[in-house]
């Protein structure tokens, strides 16, 4: 081969070698579990390799109490929240707040009508409090530590507690985290998280209070909290829409 042909071969080989890099640059995502202490940023401890989607296992089968298995008693609901963000929010047991003070302004969750799994409205972590934005016009800001909580509620008489919800996310992968968590002291929260892009799809998020990641069972406690958290770092080089949450269903029963 002539020298110029060798050059072409080398260039082609280099381009082929770059394909995985180019593919990975196009909006990957990661999920995992992490312990989150209120007032601190999450330090993810387990990572799924970039581009691997491992969000949820097979559909959870709700465990039944012995009496139910025998057909003696129907399930008894002790605490239930259904939220589709189509009416006034926050309401009832919900609370929302900015957890890092003046840093990044005063930003918390609110109901918004930019995108929804069902209806027209969903929850968004940058829409509420004094410096809240409209997702129809803005991306999420930097330095966020935005919380939406349900609770406290009791699980003392409960045999089962399940949280399910839908979420859509586009956040800066590896830097800006959407987390869903549970706590028995409102300080240490145990969470699953998503960072990156859900490819314009709504995913199912789950939390089983009988098997909270990193903790174990949170059944049998006088006070339990659920939290949806979004944390962004100090910079984005391009704009991201962030996480939207819809069809939240929490049920604690025996
Ligand atoms: Ca909705
Ligand atoms: Ca703040
Ligand atoms: Ca960021």
Residue 10 CA to ligand 1 centre (angstroms): 53
Residue 83 CA to ligand 3 centre (angstroms): 28
In this structure, the strands spanning 224-231 and 145-153 are: antiparallel
Cis check for the bond before 190: say yes or no (omega within 30 of 0): no
What are the respective helix, strand and coil percentages of the chain, to the nearest 5? 10, 35, 50
Residue 169 CA to ligand 3 centre (angstroms): 13
User: Would you state the structure tokens that stand for residue 53, as one six-digit string?
Assistant: 């989607």
Ligand in closest contact with the CA of 122: 1
Residue 72's pLDDT band (cuts 50, 70, 90): low
Q: Mean pLDDT across the stretch 154-171?
A: 96
Nearest to 207 by CA among 47, 58, 43, 60: 60
Q: Mean pLDDT across the stretch 211-229?
A: 97
Residues above pLDDT 90, as percent of the chain:
72
By mean pLDDT, which of 36-40, 62-66, 99-103 is the weakest? 62-66
**Taking the domains of the chain in order of start, what are their residue ranges?**
27-253
Residue 197 CA to ligand 1 centre (angstroms): 20
Q: Return the CATH architecture of domain 27-253.
A: Sandwich (2.60)
Ligand in closest contact with the CA of 85: 1
Residue 208 CA to ligand 2 centre (angstroms): 30
Q: Output the pLDDT for position 50.
A: 33
Residue 109 CA to ligand 1 centre (angstroms): 14
């Amino acid at each position: 081969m002539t020298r110029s042909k060798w050059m072409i071969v080398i260039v082609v080989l280099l381009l082929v070698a770059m394909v995985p890099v180019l593919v990975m640059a196009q909006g990957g995502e990661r999920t995992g579990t992490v312990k989150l202490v209120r007032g601190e940023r999450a330090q993810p401890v387990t990572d799924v390799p970039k581009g691997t989607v491992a969000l949820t296992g097979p559909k959870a089968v709700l465990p039944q109490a012995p009496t139910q298995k025998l057909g003696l008693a129907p399930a008894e609901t002790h605490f239930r929240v259904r939220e589709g963000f189509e009416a006034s929010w926050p309401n009832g047991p919900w609370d929302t707040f900015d957890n890092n003070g003046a840093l990044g302004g005063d930003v918390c969750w609110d109901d918004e009508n930019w995108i929804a799994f069902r209806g027209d409205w969903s929850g968004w972590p940058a829409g509420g409090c004094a410096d809240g934005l409209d997702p129809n016009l803005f991306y999420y800001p930097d330095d966020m530590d935005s919380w939406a909580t349900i609770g406290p509620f009791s699980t003392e008489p409960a045999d089962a507690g399940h949280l399910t919800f839908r979420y859509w996310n586009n956040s800066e992968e590896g830097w800006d985290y959407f987390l869903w968590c549970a706590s028995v002291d409102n300080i240490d929260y145990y969470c699953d998280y998503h960072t990156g892009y859900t490819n314009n799809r709504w995913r199912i998020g789950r939390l089983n209070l009988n098997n909270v990641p990193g903790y174990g069972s949170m059944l049998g406690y006088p006070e339990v909290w659920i939290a949806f958290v979004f944390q962004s770092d100090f910079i984005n080089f391009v704009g991201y829409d962030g996480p939207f949450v819809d069809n939240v269903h929490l049920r604690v029963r025996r």
